[in-house]
Amino acid sequence: MLEYMVTQTVPTVYLDKRGVAVQGFIVYFLLPEFDEVHEVRVPNLAESTVKGEIETLYKQRKALTTMGSSK
């Protein structure tokens, strides 16, 4: 199953974790498993940068599916 698909990139200026303005991109992506669109803000469009951010968010979202269930 496809975990995610990048749907759009948009140039932007955003504040990094230090609060400093950075030129970068908003990357929108679809999580078909949840029928949801999310975004990440990245300083460049290098595959490793975007992939790392999206996969981190995907893992967090997937973990939410088990929240509240007893083990």
- Flag whether pLDDT at 69 surpasses 80: no
Contacts of 13 (CB under 8 A, 6+ apart): 21, 22, 23, 24
Q: Is residue 50 part of a domain?
A: yes
Residue 17: per-residue pLDDT:
86
Residue 9: per-residue pLDDT:
98
User: Considering the entire predicted model, what is its pTM?
Assistant: 0.84
- Domain residues for the domain of 40 are 5-64
Alpha helices in the chain (DSSP H): 47-64
Q: Is residue 59 part of a domain?
A: yes
Total count of domains within the chain: 1
**Per-residue pLDDT tens digits for 15-61:** 888 999 999 999 999 999 999 999 999 999 999 999 999 999 999 99
Residue 71: per-residue pLDDT:
61
